[in-house]
Structure 1
Amino acid sequence: MTRLSVGMLAADTVQPITSAGHARLGIAVLAGIAVIVFLITKFKLHAFLALTLGSLALGAVAGAPLDKVITSFTTGLGGTVAGVGVLIALGAILGKLLADSGGADQIVDTILARAQGRAMPWAMVLIASVIGLPLFFEVGIVLLIPVVLMVAKRGNYPVMRIGIPALAGLSVMHGLIPPHPGPLVAIDAVKANLGVTLALGILVAIPTVIIAGPVFSRFAVRWVDVPVPDRMLPQRASEELEHRPGFGATLATVLLPVVLMLAKALVDIVVDDPTRMTQRVLDVIGSPLIALLAAVLLGFFTLGRPAGFGKERLQQTVEKGLMPIAGILLIVGAGGGFKQTLIDCGVGRMILEISKDWSVPALLLAWLIAVAIRLATGSATVATVSAAGLVAPLAADMSTTHTALLVLAVGSGSLFFSHVNDAGFWLVKEYFGLSVGQTVKTWSVMETIISVVAGGLVLLLSLVV
C-alpha cells in the first residue's frame, strides 16, 4: 500500500527486464514468495535478508539479468524508503515525544474514561476511520498504532481486539474513499462522478468496516493472542513529572497533520487551478512530510514545554525515538524492492494480458482483475490504477451510479489478501510484534474480508440502483 510512483503507473507499458512467458513468470512469482516465507519461518532469517534473497530468486527463475534484478530491487527499496521512511521517522519522534511528555498517557486516560469494555473496539474503528480519511495508509499507521498499543496496555485489552478495528478503518478508507490516490485515479480513468462515488463509497464502507473490524476482531483475538510489544511501546511517562500536557493541546498536536492534509485534499478537489496561491500553499504544507514535520515542531512547545523539557531532554527524546525503527525501515524498504522486481519482470503486464480473455460481468471482472494484480504486485494503488485502466471502456454505456460502482469494485479488489510483497504487511507485522503466520491470520484475513464484503456489497447495490 505504498505511494504511487511513475514506474508503477507505467507498469503495463515499460519494457520488462525479462522475456519470460506467462507460465515461467507465474512460477517465478511463486518461487520468490516461497523463498521468503521459507527463510523466515524455517531458518528465522531476518525479513530484510529474506526479502532480498527472494527478489533475487524471483529474477533468476524469471530469467532476468542479475544486474537488472539488482537495479530493480534497489530502485524499489530506495523509492519506498524515500516515500515512507521519513514519515515513519517523524512519526516515531512524535510518538516518543507524546509518550515521554505524558501527552500520550493523557489521550489514553481520556479515551479509557469515556469508552470501556465492549465500546472500545467501536471507538477505535471510528477514530481510525475519521483520521484515515485524508491520510495515506502508512501515515495513519504511524499516528494511530502507538495509541492503539497504549490503549491495549493501559486498559488490559487483547492487542488484536483493539488493533484490528483500527487497521480496518484505515484500510477501508485507503481503498474505497477519495481523496486517497487510488480511488481518485480510478474515478478519473472511468470518468465517474466524484460526489456519487464518495456517497456510495461511504455506504459500502460502513458495513464493511464493522464486519472486518469489531466483528472479525472477536475471532482474530482467539487465533492470535500476543502481548503488547514493549520495544514499540515506550513506558508510561515518569510519575516524577509535575505536569503533563492537557488533552486539548495533545489532541491538537496529533491532529495537526490530519487537518493540513485534509485541507490540501479538499482544495485539490474543489479548486482545479495549480496557479492559485491557496492551492500552491496547501500543496506544500499539506504534504505528508511537511504536515508531520510541523506536528513534531509544534510538539516541542505544546508537549515538551508543559512537561518541563529543556533542549537537551528534547534532543534525547528525538534520538531515542529514532532508535527502534531501523529494522522497520529496512524491512519496509525491502518489501518495496521485492514489489518493484515483480513489476519490472512484467508480472503486472502478464496479469493484464491474461485477464483480457475473462468473460464475466463488468463489476466482477473489475474486482477479479484488481485482486490478481494486488496478489502479484502487493500494491493496492497499482492494482487500482491498472484495473481501472483496463475496464475503463466498459464504463462508456454505464449509468452514473454504475460507473461509480465500477470504481468501488476496483478499489475493493485492490485490498484482497495482503501478503509478503506488500509493505503494509511488514509494517503491521513489526508494529504489533507478530510472526509471519500470525500476520497472515490477522491482517491478511482482515484485508480479504474487507475485499470480499465490499465487493459483494457493490454487486448488491448494482441490482438496486
Structure 2
Amino acid sequence: MEMVQGNMLLAYALIAVITLVVLIAKFKMNPFIVLIVVSVILGAAVGMPMDTIVKSYEKGVGGALGHIALVVGLGTMFGKMMAESGAAERIANTLIGAFGQKNVHWAMMVVALIVGLPVFFEVGFVLLIPIAFNVAKRTGTNMILVGIPMVAGLSVVHGLIPPHPAALYAVTAYNADIGRTIVYALIVGIPTAIIAGPLFARLISKFVFPSPDNPLLAQFVEKDSTRDLPGLGITLATILLPVVLMLLGSWADIFFTPKTFANDFLRLIGNSVIALLIAALVSFYTFGKARGFNREAILKFTTESLAPIAGITLIVGAGAGFGQILKDSGISNAIVGIATSAHLSPLVLGWFVAALIRVATGSATVAMITACGIVAPIVSSVAGTRPELMVLATGAGSLILSHVNDGGFWLVKEYFNMTVTETFKTWTVCETLISVLGLLFTLALSLVV
C-alpha cells in the first residue's frame, strides 16, 4: 500500500482527532486505550508499513516516558511531603494574613502559583482545596471567588512553567533554554493568572453560587487546623529549591568556563531530574524528619504517592506515541509545509495544534507533548522564532476549552459542588481565558525579545 500524500494526510489527521473527541467525550472510553487504537489505525490508514507502526508508536512512548516518568514520580513524592507536613497550609495562612480577608482571592492565586511549581495540577488542587474551603467558610466568601483564582494559578503554572513535565518536554523538543523559558513564562503567566483568576472570579462570583450543601466542605472544615506547621522560610526554601537549581544549571556558563568541573557540576544539578531528586531528598528532612515523621512514615507517604500517577503517566506516554505516528506518517511535514507556504506564525501554529489536541483528549499534558511532536520541526525552518516562546505558545494552547473529557473539569465540579452548566461558566471560561491571554501576551513578548 502506497503512503497517502498531500491534503489527504491532513484529512486523515482531522478524522483521527474527531474520532478521539467522540470516543472519549461521547462514549466515555479510556483515553489511554483510545489513543493507542486511533494511532495504530491512523498509521495503517495512511499507508505506513505494517511492521513500522508499532515501532513508531513505541518510540514516541519511550521517548516521552524515559524522562517524564522520573519527573512525575519525584514531583509527586515532593508534593506528598508538602501535604503531610502542612507546608502548603503554612504558605496559604501566611499569605492570607498578609493580604487580608477582603483580598483572599488574590492570596489564593499567589498561593497556587507558589505551591503549583513542583506539582501536577491535580496534586496542587488536592493540596490547596482544604485551605480554600476553610478560607471560604471563615470569611463567608463565595467558593467561586476563592476557588477560581486558585485553579487559575495552578493551571498557569501547570501549562507554562517548568519544572512541569509537559513544559520540560516542550523545552527539550524545541531545544529551548530552560532558564529563559522560566523567565519568559513568569512574564506571560503572572498577568494571565491575574486576569483569568482574581479579576474573572470577582465578576463571575456575582452570577454563580454553588449549593452550600457540600459534604466535602463540611468534611474539610471540621478537620483540626491547630497543628503545628513548618516555618515559612524553610517551606519556601524547599519548594523553590528545584527551580533555583534549574536556573543555576541554565546559567552555568555565566558563572564558570564551559567544560570545567564546576560548570559541568552546575549543569548536572540543574538537570530537571536531578533538581527534583535533590528537592525530594531535602523534603524528606525539612518536611519529614524535622516535622517528627520517622523513616517508616516517610516511606509510606512516598509509596502511597506513586499509585495515583500510574494513569497520568500512561496517558502521557500514549499521547506522545500518537504524536510520533503523526510525525512518522508525514502528517507533521504536511502541516509544516502548509504553514510555511501560508506564512503562518509558528507561535500561532503551536497554539492552534495544541488547542485541537486538548479539545480531543482533554489532557493539557498530552496536548502539549503531542503538539510539540508536530510543530517542533518548523522552529528550525523559520528564522527568528525563539524556541522559548514556542514552549509558551504551545502550553497556552494546551489549556483551552476544558470540557467533559478532562479530569480537571470533574475535579472542579465535584469539589466546588457545581452543576455541569456552572462548571462551564466558571472553570471552562477560566481555562479558555488563560489560553487566549497566554497566546496574546506571548505574541506581544515576541515583539520585544
Do they superpose with TM above 0.5? yes
Mapping 1:362-401, distance limit 5 Å: 365-371=345-351, 374=354, 378-379=367-368, 381=372, 385-392=376-383, 395=384
Matched, 1:454 2:441: yes
Matched, 1:155 2:135: yes
Compute the displacement of 1:182 (Å). Answer: 7.3
SS at match of 2:342: coil
Compute the displacement of 1:154 (Å). Answer: 3.5
Partner residue of 2:283 out of 283, 286, 299: 299
Q: Is the 8 A contact 1:169 1:213 kept in 2?
A: no
The sequence identity of aligned pairs, in percent, is 28
Unaligned 5+ runs, structure 1: 1-16, 188-193, 396-402
Compute the displacement of 1:96 (Å). Answer: 1.9
Mapping 1:22-171, distance limit 5 Å: 22-116=6-100, 119-123=103-107, 125-126=109-110, 141=121, 144-156=124-136, 157-158=143-144, 159-169=147-157, 171=159
Q: CA RMSD in A?
A: 4.7
Q: Is the 8 A contact 1:125 1:169 kept in 2?
A: no
User: In 2, Cα distance between the equivalents of 1:130 and 1:316?
Assistant: 26
Counterpart for residue 249 of structure 2: 264
Partner residue of 1:181 out of 158, 171, 179: 171
Partner residue of 2:232 out of 243, 247, 267: 247
Q: Is the 8 A contact 2:56 2:321 kept in 1?
A: yes
User: In 1, Cα distance between the equivalents of 2:79 and 2:342?
Assistant: 48
Compute the displacement of 1:316 (Å). Answer: 1.4
Counterpart for residue 332 of structure 2: 348
Mapping 1:181-220, distance limit 5 Å: 181=171, 185=175, 207-216=191-200
Question: C-alpha deviations, 1:85-118, integer Å up to 9, x for none?
Answer: 2222112222222222333332333233333566
TM-score by length of 2: 0.72
User: In 2, Cα distance between the equivalents of 1:384 and 1:131?
Assistant: 31
Question: C-alpha deviations, 1:177-226, integer Å up to 9, x for none?
Answer: 99x83798579xxxxxx99x999987666644533444455678879979
Partner residue of 2:397 out of 401, 417, 420: 417
Partner residue of 1:275 out of 243, 259, 262: 259
Give the AA of the match of 1:293.
L
Compute the displacement of 1:449 (Å). Answer: 0.9
Q: How many aligned residue pairs are there? A: 411
Q: Is the 8 A contact 2:85 2:291 kept in 1?
A: yes
TM-score by length of 1: 0.70
Question: C-alpha deviations, 1:432-454, integer Å up to 9, x for none?
Answer: 6899x969935762453135422
Q: Is the 8 A contact 2:64 2:320 kept in 1?
A: yes
Q: Is the 8 A contact 1:374 1:415 kept in 2?
A: yes
Counterpart for residue 14 of structure 1: none
